[in-house]
Amino acid sequence: MIGIAGLARSGKDTLAQNLADIIEEDMGYEVRTYSFAVPIKCQMSNLLEDYYHISAFTEDTEEKLIIRPLLVAHGEQMKKNWGKDLWLKELMAKIEEDRNVNKKIFPIIPDVRFDFEVEAVKNENGQVIHISKIGNIPPNKIEAENDPLVRQCSDLQHAWPAYSLDQIHQCKYHAQILWQMLKQTQGDEWKKIYT
């Protein structure tokens, strides 16, 4: 299991996609991407589409700026009501359910934003990569407060530039280096889990 942490728009999903391709080729596991935010987006989907005419799952940067405060507010209020690990428990239950069907699933979670989420990934014999994009700033107070804590307890920290579309192939190069670093410390342990 790999968790990816970092500020919004730092390239976590891009890194996850590149790592998935590398891991599937290198180790033959089925890589699945999981997200703490999916249940939040599902719960908010109708409201966002009805009143803002924006999909909760949009990839458009401008639309994300509009809906992010609403998604964050809902996620945080639910944690206050039901416990800070509400979304964590839901995600880990889904991973366990999927692994009961297929033991060779290798999870990647590209939206680790809190230190207790880092610890949960580590407790599952996983590692967390914290990435930062040069020039990127926190979009809100929650990320400004939590990102330094997450960075501090992550296994690897990596900074990369903002790539233009013609440079996007360099992301794969970064992912390959990070994968080799993770394998040096965790590779044998992962092989035991997934065989």
User: Nearest CA to 170 among 186, 182, 181, 158?
Assistant: 158
Strand partners, 4: 129
- In percent, how much of the chain has pLDDT > 90? 70
Write out pLDDT tens, residues 4-25: 999 988 989 999 999 999 999 9
- Mean pLDDT, range 97-116, rounded to an integer: 94
Taking residue 184's Cβ as centre, other Cβ atoms within 10 Å add up to 9
pLDDT of residue 192: 57
Write out pLDDT tens, residues 30-75: 999 999 999 999 999 999 999 999 999 998 989 999 999 999 999 9
pLDDT of residue 194: 53
* pTM (predicted TM-score): 0.88
Which domains, ranges and CATH numbers included, belong to the chain? 2-36+105-190 (3.40.50.300)
- Mean pLDDT, range 71-92, rounded to an integer: 95
